[in-house]
Amino acid sequence: MESTDQAAARHEQFSGLLVEKKAVEKIMFGRARQFRDGLMTCSRRIAPELAGQTNISEIERLLSREFRILQGFRLSKQMNTND
């Protein structure tokens, strides 16, 4: 006999509310790799702008801009990719 939890899980799976763990892990691994790669290349992109900067507010603005770009890229890739 099926427990209430098992019946609920079966219903959610049938309704399309559940996805396979392997599929989620694959997507998350890919997203984490993209984010890591973006962080690694971030320093090369902004180093020329940061070189010689002494104004802490300007440094923070430049870093924040770059991080927003990176986050936006990651989110847009996530929304536009069907893995």
Contacts of 39 (CB under 8 A, 6+ apart): 70
34-78, pLDDT tens digit by residue?
888 888 888 888 999 999 999 999 999 999 998 888 887 655 554
19-29, pLDDT tens digit by residue?
788 988 999 99
Nearest to 2 by CA among 13, 76, 22, 17: 13
Q: How far apart, in whole angstroms, are the C-alpha atoms of residue 28 and residue 82?
A: 13
Domain positions in the chain: 19-80
| Bigger pLDDT: 74 vs 14 | 14
The model's pTM: 0.52
Q: How far apart, in whole angstroms, are the C-alpha atoms of residue 27 and residue 38?
A: 17
